[in-house]
Amino acid sequence: MDLRKLILSGRARYGIIGLGYVGLPLAVALARRGFRVAGFEVDKAKIRDINKGVSYIGDIPSETVRELHSKGLLSASGDFSGLKEQDIVIICVPTPLRKSKDPDVSYIVASAEQLRPRLRKGQLVILESTTYPGTTVELVKPLLEETGLAAGKDFFLAFSPERVDPGNPKYGIENTPKVVGGVTKTCGELAALAYSRAVEKVVPVSSTEAAEMVKLVENTFRAVNIGLVNEIALMCHRLGLNVWEILDAAASKPFGYMPFKPGPGIGGHCIPLDPHYLGWKMKTLNFEPRFIELAGAVNSAMPEHVVSRLAEILNIHGRALNGSRLLVLGMAYKADIADHRESPATDVVSLLLKTKARVDYHDPHVPEIEINGKKHRSRPLAPAMLKRYDCVIIVTAHSRIDYGMVARHSRLVFDTRNAAAGISSEKIYRL
């Protein structure tokens, strides 16, 4: 039976390489529709958890994983030889940056090398890992074609950018439109069909390069606008204006304006990294990506501004950073999730520790984290405990934190996220 009929009949077998924040939600969405999904991982802890019916991602209940695994619809393995049994293989591995801000595509290469000896005729391979335009045809395609099989003829190859937003209660895999581009028209059509069984809307584009570019445009748009509003926050501080008042008033305009919020920096796997993939690619073409570089410089400097502003606040009250007892609220990169990848909170804490301040943190979702080579544990949040700190710094605005209580029982509060909006207190200072 050909691949199209396998997908339409519900008998297609999906293999997903990488069961992280992208791979596991996709695997669950497909398994919920009755497809057999096999996950392939190098992390033994993830393999163990999936096969025990345990979820390590907050958006996915363990009960769901347990039910799908018990029905034989979801499994995980570290034995990549099982890839040859899959009809559709989707690569969902990380794509970090090197210290030089160059793309690190080693996980993509490793995945393609694991797949290469198991590749067979009629298989569909889809790359989801965020990367620079050209990766699918310039890197993955040649590696797989070393088998003697031709993409678009013997096997099918496509790219579909992940659009996962951890902690988003409204949009998940199923109701977020899926962009798909193939190396040939047939490749794109089959990839669109493969996703359409679990996703409400598929948006086809003309090529894998176009699909790769879509993801970078989405996150570069956000990075640049966050950089702009962060710089506006710096301007308002110099002008003696309340940036939150300004932005709230600007947001009242019903056309021609889209609100963005300033903060202590940007975090997560996408926004801090993805624009640099596009910037790197454009530099290879002798094109200077000025907006990307400027936004990156502004956003990456925000943790230093937070520390500088905190020093000002403490100085007003006759305190120095050196020796002060400080409590950071929020270690995840965004509210109500456990993901602390690229979190500006870790940069803020790292900088504060270098000033010899005594720093603790509280985050209901991140019980432990390593910063500057040392493990730190989340502290409990209670009125008596708050009184011991010289200042409380709100870095991530978690909904489970009572900011009214924080304001009442703290000596000083430095709110970088406007989490305590509406609470009037002389103790509260803003970004």
Asked if residue 110 is part of any domain, the answer here is: yes
pLDDT of residue 268: 87
Query: Is 413 among the domain residues?
Result: yes
Q: Are residues 281 and 187 in the same domain?
A: no
Are 139 and 234 in a shared domain?
no
Residues 201, 232, single domain; the answer is no
- Residue 265 sits in the same domain as residue 362: yes
Residue ending a domain, choose from 171, 206, 241: 206
pLDDT at 163: 95
**CATH number of 421's domain:** 3.40.50.720
Count CB-CB contacts under 10 A for residue 32.
Answer: 17
Same domain, 185 and 242: no
Residue 219 lies in a domain: no
Residue 54 in contact with residue 62, Cβ under 8 Å?
yes
Do 81 and 177 fall into the same domain? yes
Q: Are 116 and 66 contained in the same domain?
A: yes
Q: In what order do the strands lie in the sheet with 413-415?
A: 358-362, 325-329, 391-394, 413-415, 428-430
Q: Which domain holds residue 63?
A: 3-206
φ and ψ at 244, to 5 degrees?
-70, -40
Q: Is 288 in the same domain as 398?
A: yes
User: Does any domain span residue 85?
Assistant: yes
pLDDT of residue 1: 65
270 is catalytic: yes
Cα angle 416, 417, 420; round to 5 = 100
Report yes or no: 192 and 202 within 8 Å, Cβ to Cβ. Answer: yes
Strand 88-91 with 74-77, pairing: unpaired
In a domain? residue 37: yes
280 and 338, same structural domain?
A: yes
Q: Where does residue 320 fall: left (phi above 0), alpha (psi -120 to 50 degrees), or beta otherwise?
A: beta
Cβ-based neighbours of 168, under 8 Å, separated by 6 or more: none
Domain membership flag for residue 263 = yes
HEC assignment per residue over the chain: CCHHHHHHHCCCEEEEECCCCCHHHHHHHHHHCCCEEEEECCCHHHHHHHHCCCCCCCCCCHHHHHHHHHCCCEEEECCHHHHHHCCEEEECCCCCECCCCCECCHHHHHHHHHHHHHCCCCCEEEECCCCCCCHHHHHHHHHHHCCCCCECCCEEEEECCCCCCCCCCCCCCCCCCEEEEECCHHHHHHHHHHHHCCCCCEEECCCHHHHHHHHHHHHHHHHHHHHHHHHHHHHHHHHCCCHHHHHHHHCCCCCCCCCCCCCCCCCCCCCCCHHHHHHHHHHHCCCCCHHHHHHHHHHHCHHHHHHHHHHHHHHHCCCCCCCCEEEEECCCCCCCCCCCCCCHHHHHHHHHHHCCCEEEEECCCCCEEEECCEEEEECCCCHHHHCCCCEEEECCCCCCCCHHHHHHHCCCEEECCCCCCCCCCCCEEEC
Note whether 120 and 255 are same-domain residues: no
Taking only the tens of pLDDT, the chain with its 431 residues reads: 699 999 999 999 999 999 999 999 999 999 999 999 999 999 999 999 999 999 999 899 999 999 999 999 999 999 999 999 999 999 999 999 887 778 999 999 999 999 999 999 999 999 999 999 999 999 999 999 999 999 999 999 999 999 999 889 999 999 999 999 999 999 999 999 999 999 999 999 999 999 999 999 999 999 999 999 999 999 999 999 999 999 999 999 999 999 999 999 999 888 888 999 999 999 999 999 999 999 999 999 999 999 999 999 999 999 999 999 999 999 999 999 999 999 999 999 999 999 999 999 999 999 999 999 999 999 999 999 999 999 999 999 998 899 999 999 999 999 999 999 989 889 999 99
Give the Cβ contact number of residue 168 at 10 Å: 13
Q: Is residue 218 part of a domain?
A: no
Kindly state whether residues 272 and 346 are assigned to the same domain: yes
Quote the number of domains for the chain: 2
Same domain? 318 vs 247: yes
213 within a domain of the structure (yes/no): no
Q: Which of 187, 236, 270, 391 is catalytic?
A: 270
Q: Is the pTM of this model over 0.85?
A: yes
